[in-house]
Amino acid sequence: MKRVHLLAALAAAVLAAPCAPAAAAAGTRSAQLTGFSCQRAVQPLLRGLSVEAVMRPIPATRQLQMKAQLLTARSRHGRYRVVRAPRLGRWFSPGDPTLGQEPADVWRVGFPVVGLPAPAFYRLRVYFRWLELNRRMLATEVLTTPVCHQLELRPDLVAWALAAYPSSTQPGQDRYVAVVRNRGLTGAGPFAAELDGPSGPIGSQTVSWLGPRSRRRVVFLAPACTPGTSLTLTVDPAEQTLDFNRANNTLSIACPPAGGAPNARG
């Protein structure tokens, strides 16, 4: 009689620890990986990959065992390292200790991993081993999934440049021209761009939408700044967007002479 046992092995990815990957062996019908999936998402917690490992007994098997490892690399063909993750990296057996003792037995284990940092490349490596009486080794097998390329899909808003020009219509006023960039792979909006001077806020403008890999000029009209003071441009101060790098959301510069060259990030 054919017996099938299913087990879902849950795991969450965390920071990688160095470990040299072993070579993957060729697959056999006694060990298979099926249903590979690579899920990309803007939300980091929704990024993941999964595979189902299938194991069948070989003659004289008394116990089946598996373990899985999550591997990551910075490039597709780079050196893959092991990621430490809950419930991965340890040998385990079916809940029914007799599963694998009948020729028609099948053991299926799902290995879903979620919360993958990006950008990075990932693979799952699954180890199989067959034990006979007294837990002596009968055979081993190692299979590895295809590569799962996880992209950083969140927008990356940047306070990029700022310059001051005399207003041609209002004496004593300057036109402050800011440049806001989105270096990410998805658009963002709405969000605010705010300009502050030494005495407090100068102005705020709303950017309704900024597409991926694009830029937008934002203009403020306010009293001329005094050379020697400072100006600060802040993009998305209310954190309305899912910006993955907020370290570049502000740009502080010395107040330039009117009509001077723009101050910009390098």
Pick the CATH number of 4-150 from 1.10.4100, 1.10.287, 2.40.360, 2.60.40: 2.60.40
State the Cα–Cα distance between residues 112 and 100, nearest whole angstrom: 23
> Quick check: 22 and 142 in contact, CB under 8 A?
yes
Residue 85: pLDDT band with limits 50, 70, 90? confident
DSSP letter, residue 30: T
- Structure confidence at residue 264 (pLDDT): 60
In this structure, what token pair is assigned to residue 22? 């072993």
- Structure confidence at residue 265 (pLDDT): 67
- Structure confidence at residue 165 (pLDDT): 87
- pTM, whole model, 2 decimals? 0.79
Q: Report the pLDDT averaged over residues 11-30.
A: 39
CATH 2.60.40.10 residue ranges of the chain are 157-264
**Is CATH 3.40.190.10 what the domain over 157-264 is classified as, yes or no?**
no
Chain centroid offset of residue 101 CA: 42
Lowest mean pLDDT among 7-11, 27-31, 216-220: 7-11
CB-facing half-sphere around the CA of 173: CA atoms within 13 A: 13
DSSP letter, residue 56: -
Could you read off the pLDDT of 143-184 as tens digits, one per residue? 999 999 999 999 999 999 999 888 877 787 889 999 999 999
> Phi then psi for 76, rounded to 5 degrees?
-55, -40
